[in-house]
Amino acid sequence: MPILLYHHVEGDVSYSRYYVSVPDFRAQMQALHDWGYTAIPISLLLDALIKGAELPEKPIVITFDDGNRNIYDNAFPIMQEFGFPGVFYIVANRLNSGTNIAHVPELKEMLAVGWEIGSHSYTHSDLTLDHSIAQYEILQSKLDIEDALGIKVQTFAYPYGTIDPYLAQKVQDYGYRAGMGLGASATHTWGTMFYLSRIEIQGDYTVTDMAARLPWKDNK
């Protein structure tokens, strides 16, 4: 099953890899809905991998990295129209800092309707370059987000998608259920739970481009 990754949803025209325009995002969510996909929280995918929990016929997980405010302003209401929950990965030291970041009240509103919040580290540093900061970046970010939101943070998104065996082990040791990476695969197993592949939807992708990266093409 596919896990999608977005960074920004903003504006009328997509102008970079990381920015999907609001009209394009709406068209993509409409297409997923029309094709019969059911968006699920990442926790349900993990329950399926670990415990054999039942999944809908065409499940998909939709994730967003960095905690950008435009996800709350633009992506969140569109997904609400289609009944799609998402997973929002937050950089802990940006909580309640600045006008372009989703703050605690917005995050709690999203949580209340089925979204999940994960950690995207404490400062968005490439952890493969300095293992000495791994505990702070991985564990303290989890603790601070949990304290701010009153939830249990279950998953960690590696900054820049970079990973090594040490970091994968630390994510597991510090109490996360899974780690989120990058890739093109829509196949996930118990053995890949600490680097689950996510398909990045880039700013210049059309609905056709997105479809080419998804399974169950014959059913569309």
Sign, CA torsion 220/4/18/21? positive
- What mean pLDDT comes out for the span 118-147? 97
pLDDT of residue 14: 78
CA distances from 157 to 9, 14, 99 (A): 19, 24, 23
**Measured CA angle at 107 (ends 88, 94), to 5 deg:** 75
Tokens of 197: 């592949």
Q: How sure is the predictor about 15, in pLDDT bands with cuts at 50, 70 and 90?
A: confident
CA distances from 167 to 119, 155, 197 (A): 14, 13, 16
- What mean pLDDT comes out for the span 80-94? 98
Sign, CA torsion 54/60/65/69? negative
Q: How sure is the predictor about 99, in pLDDT bands with cuts at 50, 70 and 90?
A: confident
- What mean pLDDT comes out for the span 183-198? 95
Q: How many domains does the chain have?
A: 1
Residue 217 reports pLDDT greater than 80? no
Share of the chain above pLDDT 90, in %: 92
Angstrom distance (rounded) from CA 187 to CA 45: 11
The whole domain housing 154 covers 3-219
Tokens of 110: 């999203």
Contact in structure between 153 and 146 (CB atoms under 8 Å): yes
Angstrom distance (rounded) from CA 120 to CA 65: 7
Q: In the chain, which residue ranges form alpha helices assigned H by DSSP?
A: 22-34, 42-51, 69-70, 76-82, 104-112, 134, 141-149, 165-173, 207-212
Q: In 16-75, which residue ranges form alpha helices assigned H by DSSP?
A: 22-34, 42-51, 69-70
Q: How sure is the predictor about 219, in pLDDT bands with cuts at 50, 70 and 90?
A: very low
- What mean pLDDT comes out for the span 103-113? 98
- What mean pLDDT comes out for the span 157-184? 96
Angstrom distance (rounded) from CA 88 to CA 80: 14
Cβ density class 193-214: b for 16+ within 10 Å, e for less:
bbbbbbbbbbbebeeeebbeeb
Domain CATH number, residue 180? 3.20.20.370
Residue 220 reports pLDDT greater than 80? no
CA distances from 162 to 8, 140, 158, 167, 180 (A): 20, 19, 6, 9, 10
